[in-house]
Amino acid sequence: MLPPARLILNIRPEKKAQVKISSQVSSFSSKLIHWQRSNGRHHLPWQNTRDPYAIWLSEIMLQQTQVATVIPYYLRFLRHFPNIGRLASASLDDVLAQWSGLGYYSRAQNLHQAAKRVVSHYDGAFPAEYQAILRLPGIGRSTAGAIAVFAYGARCAILDGNVKRIFARYFGIEGYPGERKTEILLWQKAEELLPGEAKASNSGIEAYTQALMDLGATVCTRVKPKCAVCPLSFHCIALHNNGIGRLPVPRPRKPLPERETALLILMAHGRLLLEKRAAKGVWPNLWCLPEMPVGEDSIEYCARQFGMGTRPLPDIPPFTHTFTHFKLRIHPTPVQVISSPSVNEDLTGERMWMTPGEALKAAIPAPVGRLLRALAPSQ
């Protein structure tokens, strides 16, 4: 059982609930602010700056991706596109190439579209108002709040996966956080627990927001949380009711559907053929190995689709690539081109011949990169 809350105040009965909530908010936020200043992360590449572009970029990259993975991509991307203007004027191919390997490529496309909008609608200056930030492509409620806090000191709430986990455990909130009614409750908590009304310099809003991120990433982790060093452990309902392993309630599990495809590795003079994917669907706008229906004869398919004479090369074992909503069983199908009117031409538009090394520098899906890295040393 939780220890009883103590409010040693002489107040009128009708004000008790209000004071209790105020006391809880003050205690919750102050503990986190104090903890973050002593124990939080302070030297990440996107910290210690008010540059909204650098903060925006980091927040987009950190969506569904861990900090350690993001850091090298973030530094490389920022070197290549040091400001919004450079990003907006770049080609989508260039943007996707710098993003290649980070996954969830719609983030990069939205980033590029948002940069163009900032240039066209705001003269290249990232908007400071929360609602204006929220209207930019690829920016949701939590991301807009984080940008507003760190770039402008605004008093805004965040609710990413880490924060949902903290609130679900601390308040003992049942229900999958992705369900609408549970998410509404979590957002209510996020808004209620914000520290004081003053600007960030006085309220500690930046330290508080960073504390939520740090606590979820380093202490209140999904598995093996470090409850012994958590500043919120004394009043954590999940901890006191042995519910840490149960909360937050996981997504209702459904078996992922499985699909199959064959990826053609068309080799000619040390180069291979890549095709640009459509703007919608799997791997939008990325350069990919040509797809072929599983079970098709590769020799006949290449002759019919590409006008190429080919012969089969040694098999490469199939492997599975998992997306959020399905699994894709990939059958690599290597063939040697022995005659083709286009092998010695520099194709443009939707098809291009590249060496494996050149292709690895282009915007390619992760499983294609895996295949190319296996091919590159032998080329």
Instruction: Indicate the domain borders of the chain.
Output: 258-378
- In the set 59, 183, 260, 358, the catalytic residue is 59
Reduced to 3 states (helix: H, G, I; strand: E, B; else coil), residue 347 is: coil
Using the predicted structure, report yes or no on whether residue 339 has a pLDDT greater than 90. Answer: no
Compute CA distances 5 → 196, 223, 266, whole Å: 21, 29, 70
Indicate if 291 belongs to the active site.
no
Residue 27: half-sphere exposure toward Cβ, Cα within 13 Å: 15
What pLDDT digit, counting tens, does each position of 347-369 carry? Answer: 556 899 999 989 998 999 999 99
Fold of 258-378: Nucleoside Triphosphate Pyrophosphohydrolase (3.90.79)
Which of the two residues, 16 and 36, has the higher pLDDT score? 36
What pLDDT digit, counting tens, does each position of 149-177 carry? Answer: 999 999 999 999 999 999 999 999 999 99
Q: What pTM, to 2 d.p., does this model score?
A: 0.85
Using the predicted structure, report yes or no on whether residue 3 has a pLDDT greater than 70. Answer: no
Using the predicted structure, report yes or no on whether residue 377 has a pLDDT greater than 90. Answer: no
How far is it, in rounded angstroms, from Cα 271 to Cα 287? 14
Residue 24 identity = Q
How far is it, in rounded angstroms, from Cα 237 to Cα 169? 6
Using the predicted structure, report yes or no on whether residue 16 has a pLDDT greater than 70. Answer: no
Using the predicted structure, report yes or no on whether residue 236 has a pLDDT greater than 80. Answer: yes
How far is it, in rounded angstroms, from Cα 291 to Cα 304? 14
Instruction: Identify whether the C-beta of residue 372 lies closer than 8 Å to the C-beta of residue 302.
Output: no
pLDDT at 280: 87
Which of the four pLDDT bands, split at 50, 70 and 90, describes residue 187? very high
Residue 49 identity = T
Q: How many CB atoms lie within 10 A of CB 346?
A: 7
Reduced to 3 states (helix: H, G, I; strand: E, B; else coil), residue 236 is: coil
Place of tokens 């895996």: 370
How far is it, in rounded angstroms, from Cα 214 to Cα 221? 10
